[in-house]
C-alpha cells in the first residue's frame, strides 16, 4: 500500500476501481465453478456455458446488436480490430484511415501497406480532432474496401460523425470498421444507429470490466467477408479439421476467457442499472469542470473538447515550460494525481494538433466513480505547478 489516497484519472487507459459486482462475478467463478465454457457436459460446465451465452446476449443488447451471435468475444479491442483488418483486406484492396486513429488500427494497416498488399489513404483531422465526412468521401476510390474510423479520439475526446461517414462509405460500396474503445460505456452506443459493419470495443475501459477481454460486433453479411486468422477448438464440430463458418464460432477459437466475460457482463449490469445517460452526464460534468478551470490557468492549453461541446470525460492539456511526462510525474509524486502523458499511441492525432514535437499532451480521464472533489484537487495541483513555473520565469 502507498499510504496515501490515489486520485486515479487514467480511466481512458483502463477504468479503476471496478463496480463491486465485477469483483464478485470473477471471484465466484474462480472459486465455485472453474469449468470451461462449451467443453464439458457436467453440471458446472453446462452452467458456465449458459452464463457465457447470457453474457453475450446482455452485451449485445447494450450495444444495439440485434442477434447475440453477432457479438464476438475477443482477447481485447486490439484483437477485434486486427481480426477485421487482417481478415477482410486482400491483395490490391484500398483502405481509408483517419488521423484520429489509435495504433491498434494504424499499425496493422501500415504493415499491410508496407508489404505491398494494400494501398492506404490517410484523412486528416482539424486541430480539435474532428474528421470531416467530406474528406472521407474525397479519399474513396473504386477499389476502396474498408474505412476505419474511431468513434472518438483517445487524445481529444471529440466524437466523430460516424453515422454520416458510414453513409458515405456504403454509397461507395465500402465497409466501415468503428473503433468504439473510448465511447462504449461513457455515452449511448447503438451499432444499428451508427450504421457500421464492425464495432470494436474493450471491456476494461468504459464497460468497467477486467483486462484481457474485448468485443467485436459484426453485421452477419459483412462477417461472411472476413476470414478467420485464428483457428482452433470451439467445442463444436470437433470431427472437422476446418474452422466452423457459423457465428460466433468462426472467430472464437480456443478456450474462452470466462472470468473476463463474466466480469464484463457484471460491468454492463452496473451501467444498465445506473443508466448510461446518468454516466454520460456525470462524465460531461467532470470534463467541463476540468476544461473551465484549467482553461483559465496561465500557461495551460486545452486540446480537443470545449466546455460547450464536451461529451466524454477526457481532457488533454499542455503546460508551458514543462514536458508532458514531467507534469505527470510531478502530479503523481507530489499530489498523488495519476494521469497519462505522452503520445497515447495516437501519433497522427498529435501531428494534426501540433503537439507531437513537444512530446504529446497530459490527459486527464475521470471515470464512473470519480468525484467533483477529486477533480478539484487535480485542478489545484495543476494550478500550483503552473504558478511555480510562472515564478521561475520571473526569477
DSSP string, 56-116: HHHHHHHTT-SSGGGEEEES-HHHHHHHHHHHH--TTEEEEEETT--HHHHHHHHHHHHTT
Three-state SS for 333? helix
- The H or E element that residue 315 is part of is strand 315-319
Residue 121: phi and psi, rounded to 5, are: -110, 135
Residue among 266, 256, 105 at smallest CA distance from 182? 105
Of the listed 70, 77, 178, 345, which one is catalytic?
Answer: 345
CA distance 309 to 301: 17
Q: Are strands 315-319 and 361-364 parallel, antiparallel or unpaired?
A: antiparallel
The CA distance from 27 to 362, in Å, is 35
Query: Residue 146 carries which DSSP code?
Result: E
Closest CA to 179 of 148, 217, 212: 148
Q: What cell numbers appear for 277 in the block?
A: 445517460
Active-site residue 178, yes or no? Answer: no
- Contact at 8 Å (CB) between 62 and 250? no
> Residue 85, exposed/middle/buried by CB under 10 A (0-12, 13-18, 19+)?
buried
> Residues with catalytic annotation?
345
Amino acid at each position: 500500500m502507498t499510504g496515501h489516497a490515489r486520485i486515479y484519472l487514467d480511466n481512458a487507459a483502463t477504468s479503476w476501481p471496478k463496480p463491486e459486482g465485477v469483483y464478485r462475478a470473477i471471484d465466484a467463478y474462480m472459486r465455485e465453478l472453474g469449468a470451461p465454457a462449451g467443453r464439458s457436459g457436467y453440471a458446472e460446465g453446462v452452467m458456465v456455458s449458459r452464463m457465457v451465452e447470457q453474457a453475450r446476449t446482455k452485451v449485445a443488447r447494450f450495444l444495439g446488436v440485434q442477434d447475440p451471435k453477432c457479438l464476438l468475444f475477443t482477447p481485447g479491442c486490439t484483437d477485434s480490430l486486427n481480426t477485421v483488418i487482417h481478415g477482410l483486406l486482400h491483395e490490391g484492396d484500398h483502405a481509408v484511415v483517419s488521423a484520429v486513429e489509435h495504433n491498434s488500427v494504424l499499425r496493422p494497416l501500415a504493415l499491410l501497406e508496407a508489404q505491398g498488399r494494400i494501398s492506404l489513404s490517410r484523412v486528416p483531422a482539424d486541430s480539435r480532432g474532428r474528421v470531416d465526412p467530406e474528406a472521407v468521401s474525397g479519399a474513396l476510390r473504386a477499389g476502396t474496401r474498408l474505412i476505419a474510423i474511431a468513434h472518438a479520439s483517445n487524445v481529444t475526446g471529440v466524437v466523430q460523425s460516424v453515422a454520416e461517414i458510414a453513409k458515405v462509405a456504403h454509397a461507395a460500396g465500402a465497409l466501415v470498421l468503428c473503433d468504439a474503445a473510448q465511447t462504449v460505456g461513457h455515452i449511448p452506443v447503438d451499432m444499428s444507429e451508427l450504421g457500421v459493419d464492425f464495432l470494436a470495443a474493450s471491456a476494461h475501459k468504459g464497460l468497467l470490466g477486467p483486462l484481457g477481454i474485448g468485443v467485436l460486433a459484426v453485421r452477419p453479411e459483412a462477417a461472411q467477408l472476413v476470414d478467420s486468422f485464428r483457428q482452433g477448438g470451439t467445442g463444436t464440430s470437433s470431427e472437422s479439421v476446418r474452422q466452423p463458418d457459423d457465428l460466433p464460432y468462426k472467430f472464437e477459437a480456443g478456450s474462452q476467457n470466462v472470468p473476463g466475460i463474466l466480469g464484463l457482463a457484471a460491468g454492463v449490469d452496473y451501467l444498465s442499472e445506473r443508466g448510461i445517460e446518468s454516466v454520460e452526464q456525470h462524465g460531461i460534468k467532470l470534463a467541463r469542470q476540468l476544461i473551465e478551470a484549467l482553461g483559465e490557468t496561465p500557461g495551460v492549453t486545452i486540446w480537443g473538447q470545449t466546455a460547450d461541446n464536451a461529451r466524454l470525460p477526457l481532457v488533454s492539456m499542455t503546460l508551458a515550460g514543462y514536458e508532458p511526462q514531467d507534469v505527470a510525474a510531478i502530479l503523481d509524486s507530489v499530489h498523488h494525481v495519476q494521469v497519462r502523458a505522452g503520445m497515447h499511441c495516437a501519433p497522427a492525432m498529435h501531428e494534426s494538433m501540433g503537439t507531437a514535437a513537444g512530446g504529446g499532451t497530459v490527459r486527464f480521464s475521470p471515470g464512473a466513480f470519480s468525484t467533483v472533489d477529486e477533480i478539484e484537487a487535480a485542478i489545484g495541483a495543476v494550478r500550483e505547478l503552473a504558478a511555480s513555473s510562472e515564478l521561475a520565469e520571473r526569477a
